[in-house]
Structure 1
Amino acid sequence: MERVVGTVVRGLRGPIINKGDNIEQIVVDTVLNAAEIEGYSIEDRDIVTITESIVARAQGNYATIDAIATDVREKFGEDTIGVTFPILSRNRFANCLRGIARGAKRIVLMLSYPSDEVGNHLVDIDELDVKGVNPWTDVLTEAEFREHFGYKKHTFTGVDYIEYYKEIIEAEGATCQVIFSNNPKTILEYTKSVLTCDIHSRFRTKRILSNNGAEKVYGLDDILKESVNGSGFNEAYGLLGSNKATEDSIKLFPNNCQPIVDGIQAKIKEVTGKTVEVMVYGDGAFKDPVGKIWELADPVVSPAYTSGLDGTPNEVKLKYLADNNFSHLRGEELKQAISQHIENKNDNLVGQMEAQGTTPRKLTDLIGSLSDLTSGSGDKGTPMIYIQGYFDNYTK
């Protein structure tokens, strides 16, 4: 019988994960149990994805605000710290800022505008035009920003992040000066000791600062890169990818995930004889069209994945073939012609017209978006995703 369904995505419900749990076995048991209860078979090249959160929970990869403060104090001493380009997030950055402020005496907080790097807006860009403010050249004080734009609350959270972040810093006993600039060099007019908090542009920011007279330059990826007094840590990303856990702690991005995905793959093959692909995923990297938030606060979409998920899709565009190569055909003839073309397509379609409009993103980024949208960020209770038919095409 001809297949009438392509890719199928299932959110799998599993147990609540706690520190010390055997995450590999829990994932394997959940996958096998779901297949048995729902009545589908496990096949080669199926995909199992696991949210980074439950991996980190199983690892017990947590740290306190005090641990952050200790690391910041060791790196900066009594210096005034320039804290630059943080994202605007209660979940992602507020507790990190508390720790930074607890380890400092004076902070100059430099915010990018009109938005942070993931699209959270302090002010609508059209208002900059009205006020004649150029965000690429103009440096604003807090008073100047307020004079131009007043007190703005975030579209979704209802938070005035300027006020919120300043209150966090001052509540920890540090003094705070807020400025607005998109030029990393601006902060050097206030201090030569900088903690840059951007995520995807951090390497460029560090380079610019180091080349222009900064004396101490660290990023969030340098804080809690090693354990502090027994705390959790992330050797690759430090505080990047962390989330608020409690009022006094954060959950860090998981460490050393490659053995976990490889172990899950091996265990499922041992039981079923099938080779599934496995990846750990964080934010899926998609943009909200209303709030303009670019959903990628994690340093990478996937910190670990099995080898079969390496690379990018190699696909042709069906509608291009139907409108061009085979525009003279209809019905079964068109179907057969397109199927034959797909079966004989080149191994590398980069730059070819028949591939235009396909998505040249990494497989792990595409599958991460699919997984993140499926699992959601709330109470669905499906931190594991099972995907079938992802690598199929029209001929299968």
Structure 2
Amino acid sequence: MINKQLINEEVQEYITQNLYSDLSKLRFRKSPFNNISSLELVQQIQGKKIAQKKLPFLYNNNRIIYPPHLNLEQASSQSTALYKKKIITGKNGIDLTGGTGIDCYFISENATNFFYVEPNYELLEIVKHNFFSLKKRDIHFINKTAEEFISENTQSFDFIYLDPSRRDVNKNKKIEIMDLSPNILDLQNQLFKFTSKIFIKLSPLLDLQKVIDQLPISNIYIVSVKNETKELVLELRSEKLEYLNNPYIHCVNLETKQPDFHFNWRDEKLSDTPSYSLPKSYLYQPNSSLLKSGAFKLIGNKFKLEKLHSNTHIYTSEKKIEDFPGRILSIIDKNFNPKKTNNKKFNIISKNYPIKPEEIKKKYNLIEGGDIYLIFTRSLEGNVCILAESI
């Protein structure tokens, strides 16, 4: 049973006051509250601290009870959950791997009938309490595994959503689809008896070609937040249509003003090889979603850009190109010598270069920061350092 005393006003005040305390010390300190252990308090402090940036809609509500850290670790952020709300629509839906309920909370806003399925009773009770605190009371809570629910289910759904666990029984991280729980490779035929659309959230480390070969995917959403790729969302369809083995790829960089980039998977292989050039007036670095997609020829051809080198995924042009899905830099010096500068504060980028940023900082006694960039990379003439400023 969850401890409802955790939402008492004085307890919540203590949690907020200790967001930046040394939790290793708090664990062994006697709890100031009867019927609440130090470990319970630490769990709530950890959860609220994570929510401060990742889940502000929870952080701003003092009646929320946070689950263990491991559950919050795999949970979607508020911004990625809101994005899934845009792409996953239907009146009758189900989340077969409910977990912390973050995706369920937002995706269900499109539905009139929504099911949350979760085998961990304590976690389910926490989520039910939190939804009630957030005045969300239109969810059907079911305490079963995905497999148990499917074996007994008789109704159909507009969509089914899953976020398979990426931990094994020993809490080791897993990435490959066959190692996740539940295993969608085993379940997909059963699931397609109840829906024509399945959405799966997976690790951004997965090999795209491998999952395309394994599953009937119509769309792949590569979701980044502030240029850090957070998750892949696959849309599976039961119909054998023209998109099979050639899904539509969506490269998204949330919390930025960068435009999305879309293409069909085979378009990259069929695209002409981009031309190459020494650095011109501007440099373009694709965002992390684009880099994950591997659309290196397409991006150059679409924006009429030239690459610095076949293995350097940085592009250049004489005239500035607007609406590029990534960082745009204006070149100050095309062949900069970091040894001959009094300024030691730069943003350092190392791409297709023999040494990493940390080694570069040590070698040239540089400090990370400021408004000017040093780009260490390889061009047609070999290794180069370019001085540039962001636009």
Q: Relative contact order (C-alpha < 8 Å, sep 6+): which is higher?
A: 1
**TM-score, normalised via structure 2 length:** 0.29
Q: Considering fraction of residues, name the structure with more helix.
A: 1
TM-score of the aligned structures, taking structure 1 as reference length: 0.28
